[in-house]
Chains A and B, each alone.
Chain A
Amino acid sequence: MRKYIIRRLLLIIPVLLGISIIIFSLIHAMPGDPFAHLIDPNMTPEDKDRMLESVGYFDPLPVQYLRWVVGAVQGEFGHSIRFKEDVLKVMWPRIQNTFVLSLSAMIFSTLLAIPLGIISSTKQYSVFDYVATIAAFIGLSIPVFFFGLMLIKFVAFDLGLFPIAGMQTIASGYTGWQLFIDKARHLVLPTLVLGLASTASLMRYTRSSMLECVKQDYIRTARAKGLSERVVIYKHALRNALIPVITVLSMQIPRLISGALLTETIFVWPGLARLSFQAIMNRDYPMIMGTVTVMSIVVMLSNLFADLMYAVLDPRIRYQ
């Protein structure tokens, strides 16, 4: 088992190198340069070139890439051109914000989707199942940003139930409990929007996984023992059905991070995805590299986590 984890962790390295090389080449192929609007317009072109020269702007790309890798390995992601500050330092609060939003969306969708999926499967072809299925399809088919805009208009503006955007009321002077409530209220709509698609697909998945398990021979064995339907479903079937569901659950993480861009944009949520979006707009190369690296690492770790959970839950894999 330990060997397996180490092998998987080692496998992250080539993938990470591949990603960073591709991103690095891509972003340097983008038109425009990051200093265009940072440099004093009175500066002569010669002065400008000299300045760029000093930061290594004209070095061949492989040299620049190597410089980046050497730094990154030591935890040095360089200085943001835009923020004029250390990349990690700028990223850290944004990472926390994205983490809060993603975690909240994930908890929301898990708590909603798994019970709904189970009930749907035990009452296959019932009205409940039908309604839940249609609802899941609707959730999968609404563009996230459109759903977000609708919530902002109808729930936030027209009904005034929740704040329109941001993470907390600016200059409110809230402290302690009040501050917590204020932040929680700001979190509700973004959570709904970000969690919508995952909820829908997770529910569908739980349902079909349960239906698959209920067909298995061991369910017949359990019934033949005289166990009640509740034990048969919630012990024997559910325990098996949850194994693939856990995998799907952790596969939602990349989706949450990617979907976060639209959600963060609409709700002006100062998260990592929006930071990387701004970095691309500003051609802030070190910042783009930093954010993409963080996102990729999170995705790969969540894949690894999925496989480990699989092993924990499934004795057939655990004992290999």
Chain B
Amino acid sequence: MINKDENKLVNNEQENRVTLKGISPWKIAFTRLRKNKLALTGLIVLSILIFLAITADFIAPHGRDHIDLFNINAAPSSEFLLGTDELGRDILSRLIYGGQVSLSVGLIATSIALVIGVTLGAIAGYAGGLIDNVIMRIVDIVMCFPFFVIAIVIASILGPSIWNVMFVIGALSWTGLARIVRAEILTLKEKEFIEAAKSLGLEGHEIITKHLLPNILAPILVFATLGIAGAILVEAGLSFLGFGVRQPQPSWGNMISAAQSMTVLRLRWWQWIPPGFLIFITVLSINFLGDGLRDALDPRLKQ
């Protein structure tokens, strides 16, 4: 990058400030991220999971919905590495396909939350006054919703489908982001370069998109990463309760709901522990990555 960004690598003592020229903050963040073992592990695990989900059609040992009536509730064996479910479907194959659901719900739901949160937050922060007040009251209202109750109500209005799950999660989880974006913009608005942009006669939306948003990309990126982890957990919870993705489409959450039967819970671990473990590993990897990003991009954001 050719710019005059100066980044200060400061040690604890203000007298020992050193100025390194010509290194962009993103490059420094990348260097820091590479040194973070947990974040790196998360990234690798996540890549494997994404690869498996994308290539499910080629990798899964059995068909997603293939029913083997001779092997109902079969324990793990060489043919069915993780056994079968109560319909005789191969658990391992369904797990691989289930990854498609979890990952895509996480991504798309978070994208929806991003669009709503960034837009409303930026408008509120930039416009101020009445508009800000109205938007922030809406944020208050949505924040006070008992999340699962509302999610279930909306899910039962829309009917169970993977797209509706994405919409419900996205529509309910943008508030935190809107607040962050608003707060960041309020601080940035006071800075000289925004004054300069204004005095040059730029329009409000131009200032927001060209000058303000690029400066708050770091917190948005961190929020989005951690948001994906949250969305995956919510999808699993909704599907577990029967309001998310419905059978026969497998989702890690709806696979675990088999354990609501005491027999399955006690005697057929292979039907519910592997999907739970996969959710755990996925969310853990994303959290490691997100935390690493936060450290790398801006240690100040650490909470």
Residues of B within 8 A of A153 (CB): 265-266, 269
Q: Are A280's CB and B240's CB within 8 A?
A: no
CB distance from A262 to the nearest CB of B (A): 6
- A291 contacts which chain B residues (CB < 8 A)? 149
Which residue of A29, A140, A146, A277 has the most chain B CB atoms within 10 A of its CB atom? Answer: A146
Stretch touching chain B among A16-24, A60-68, A87-95, A178-186? A16-24
Q: Which of B140, B143, B149, B273 touches A261 (beta carbons < 8 Å)?
A: B149
Chain A min CB distance to B196 (Å): 32
Chain B residues within 8 Å of A299, by CB: 143-144, 146
Bound together, the chains give a CA A153 to CA B273 distance in angstroms of 11
Q: Is the CB of B287 within 8 A of A149?
A: no
Taking a contact as CB atoms closer than 8 A, the residue among A15, A23, A142, A280 that contacts B156 in the complex is A280
Q: Contacts A26-B157, A258-B148; is A143 near B137 (CB within 8 Å)? A: no
Contact B149 A149 (CB under 8 A): no
Whole-angstrom CA separation of A150 from B276 in the bound complex:
9
Residue of B nearest to A29 (CB): B157
B241's partner among A146, A150, A265 (CB-CB below 8 A) is A265
Number of A-B contacts (CB under 8 A): 124
Judging by beta carbons under 8 Å apart, are A30 and B157 in contact?
Answer: yes
Is B265 within 8 A of A31, CB to CB? no
Cross-chain contact of A137 among B143, B265, B273, B288 (Cβ < 8 A): B288
Bound complex: CA A274 to CA B38 (Å): 37
User: Does any Cβ of B come within 8 Å of A27's Cβ?
Assistant: yes
A270 at the interface (CB under 8 A from B): no
B25 at the interface (CB under 8 A from A): no
Contact status A262-B237, CB under 8 Å: yes
Residue B153 at the A interface, CB < 8 A?
yes
Q: How far is the CB of A290 from chain B (nearest CB, A)?
A: 12
Query: What is the interface of chain A mostly: helix, strand, loop, or mixed?
Result: helix
Are A300 and B272 closer than 8 Å at their CB atoms?
no
A216 to chain B minimum Cβ distance, whole angstroms, is: 12
Chain A 136-160 per-residue mask, 1 if CB under 8 angstroms from chain B, else 0: 0110111111100110110001000
Number of interface residues of A (CB under 8 A): 47
Contacts of B157 in A (CB 8 A): 26, 29-31
Contacts of B236 in A (CB 8 A): 143, 145-146
What distance in Å separates the Cβ of B253 from its nearest Cβ neighbour in chain A?
8
Instruction: List B residues 282-303 near A (Cβ within 8 Å).
Output: 283-284, 287-288, 291, 302-303
Nearest CB of B to A208, in Å: 5
| Inter-chain contacts of B279 with A (CB < 8 A) | 143, 146
Contact: A19 with B149, CB < 8 Å? no
CB-CB nearest in chain A for B146: A295
User: Contact: B144 with A254, CB < 8 Å?
Assistant: yes
- For the complex, is A110 an interface residue (Cβ under 8 Å from B)? no
- In whole Å, how far is A138's beta carbon from the nearest beta carbon of chain B? 7
Number of chain B interface residues as a range: 35 or more
Q: Is A14 an interface residue (CB 8 A)?
A: yes
Beta-carbon contact of B265 and A19 below 8 Å: no
Given A145-B256, A146-B279, A280-B152; A138-B145 close (CB under 8 Å): no
- Tell me whether A188 is interfacial, beta carbon within 8 Å: no
Residue in B144, B237, B273, B284 whose beta carbon sits within 8 Å of that of A19 in the complex: B144
Q: How many Å lie between the Cα of A257 and that of B150 in the bound state?
A: 13
* A114 interface residue (CB < 8 Å to B): no
Q: Does A199 contact B (CB under 8 A)?
A: no
CA distance A150 to B273 in the complex (A): 8
CB-CB under 8 A for A146 and B266, given A141-B284, A258-B146, A295-B149: no
Q: Give the contacts of B110-149 with A (CB-CB under 8 A).
A: 137-138, 140-141, 143-149
Complex alpha-carbon distance, A280 and B238, angstroms: 14
Q: Say whether B303 contacts A205, CB under 8 Å.
A: yes
Q: Judge if A168 is at the interface, Cβ distance under 8 Å.
A: no
In-complex Cβ contact of A15 among B12, B140, B256 (8 A):
B140
Chain B: which residue is nearest A204 at the CB level?
A: B303
User: B197: which A residues are within 8 A, CB to CB?
Assistant: none
Judge if B233 is at the interface, Cβ distance under 8 Å: yes
Complex-state Cα separation, A283 to B155, whole angstroms? 14
Contact B141 A22, beta carbon cutoff 8 Å: yes
Binary interface encoding of chain B residues 239-273 relative to chain A, with 1 for a CB under 8 A from any of its CBs, else 0: 01100000000000100100100000110010011
When chains A and B are docked, how far (Å) is the Cα of A205 from the Cα of B302? 9
B87 lies within 8 A of chain A by Cβ: no
Beta-carbon nearest neighbor of A157 in chain B: B266
A205 to B145 alpha-carbon distance, docked (Å) = 24
A280–B157 Cα gap in the complex (Å)? Answer: 11
Residue in contact with B152 in the complex, picked from A14, A137, A149, A277, CB distance below 8 Å: A277
12 more contacts with CB within 8 A, not counting A29-B157, A141-B280, A261-B149, are A18-B138, A23-B153, A26-B157, A27-B153, A141-B287, A143-B237, A149-B259, A261-B241, A262-B241, A277-B149, A296-B145, A300-B144
Question: Could you show 22 A-B contacts with beta carbons less than 8 Å apart?
Answer: A15-B137, A15-B140, A18-B137, A18-B138, A22-B141, A26-B154, A26-B157, A30-B156, A134-B38, A143-B237, A145-B240, A146-B256, A149-B259, A157-B265, A204-B303, A208-B302, A258-B148, A261-B241, A276-B146, A280-B153, A280-B156, A291-B149
The 5 A-B residue pairs with the shortest CB-CB distance in the complex, in nearest-first order: A146-B276, A141-B284, A141-B283, A18-B141, A258-B147
